[in-house]
Amino acid sequence: MRLEGKVALITGAGSGIGRAAAVRFAAEGARIVASDISEASAAETAAIVGESGGEATGSGGDVVSSSDAMAMVQAAVEAYGRLDVLLNSAGVSGRVDGATHEEVWDKVIDVNLKGTYLVSWHAVPEMEKAGGGSIINIGSIMSLVGYPVGMGGGFNPYNASKGGVLQFTRNLAVDLARKNIRVNCICPGYVETNMTRPLTENPESYEFLKERHPMGRLGQPEDIANAALFLASDEAAFVTGAPLIVDGGYTAQ
């Protein structure tokens, strides 16, 4: 049991990477607070964890709201008495229908970057009380590279938001290292989730993306959950400020 006795708060836990991480962490002994902007989805994840023999509670909330972010952290403390692990998995893409380019920019930066900042801000004091902890942020290969030619990514705020997440990770890691709080960033390739469904449902774009990954496939949420488990565990005791690239070889080209 690699997370025995630990309490983990996971944002964006209603689906995709967040849900997979909740199930994986619980299987390794962690007690889970599954948070999502959809309270029903958060409760569903908590139920799935419970059906698998784990312990979890659901918590609705918007990571862009400081009061909601604080409530997520407090839900962990009230339910389980402490907070050891935070996985900032809540995120959105730049594909927002019916919005102006400026509204899309603000939405993506708010959720992906500000949301990561706010939940971390409220989590750190509780981790200090617990004697340390692990914060895991979800970046992207787009934290490191630009979109391929032809994808029209020049004004897409997603790269800027995820690049910001990586730099926030490094800065926070240095600041918190002496407090025994590790901060790391997973940089996934394209993963088959609700967020990428508009791309994977289109046969042409799906094949294009698979070809961009040397392994010939897109990632699965469980691929990222397994990486997050390592960073959450004591096996990563000397890892902080690091981008962990999980991309099937995408950025090696």
Q: What is the pLDDT of residue 98?
A: 76
Q: Tell whether 184 is covered by a domain.
A: yes
Predicted confidence (pLDDT) at residue 75 exceeds the cutoff of 90: yes
User: CA neighbours within 13 Å on the CB side: how many for 205?
Assistant: 12
205: three-class secondary structure by DSSP = helix
| % of the chain beyond a pLDDT of 90 | 91
Confidence of residue 104 (pLDDT cuts 50, 70, 90): very high
User: Is residue 12 exposed (0-12), middle (13-18) or buried (19+ Cβ within 10 Å)?
Assistant: buried
Q: Tell whether 216 is covered by a domain.
A: no
d(CA 209, CA 204): 9
**Which CATH number is 136's domain given?**
3.40.50.720
Q: Tell whether 1 is covered by a domain.
A: no
Question: What is the residue-averaged pLDDT of the chain?
Answer: 96
d(CA 93, CA 200): 14
146-163 residue pLDDT tens: 988 777 678 999 999 999
Q: What is the pLDDT of residue 241?
A: 98
Per the structure, the count of domains in the chain is 1
217: three-class secondary structure by DSSP = coil
Q: Tell whether 208 is covered by a domain.
A: no
29-49 residue pLDDT tens: 999 999 999 999 999 999 999
104: its two tokens = 């899309």
What would the DSSP string read from start to end of 122-176? HHHHHHHHHT-EEEEEE--GGGTSPPPTTS--TT-HHHHHHHHHHHHHHHHHHHH
d(CA 252, CA 14): 31
d(CA 175, CA 112): 21
Spatial CB neighbours of 173, under 8 Å, sequence gap ≥ 6: 182, 183, 184, 240, 241, 242
Q: Tell whether 215 is covered by a domain.
A: no
| % of the chain beyond a pLDDT of 70 | 99
Q: Tell whether 203 is covered by a domain.
A: no
Q: What is the pLDDT of residue 147?
A: 87
Q: Tell whether 164 is covered by a domain.
A: yes
Place of tokens 């939940």: 119
Structural domain including 31 reads 7-192+221-242
- The pTM of the whole model exceeds 0.85: yes
Q: Tell whether 169 is covered by a domain.
A: yes
Q: What is the rounded average pLDDT of the residues 196-208?
A: 91
User: What is the 8-class DSSP label of residue 112?
Assistant: I
* Active site positions, annotated: 158
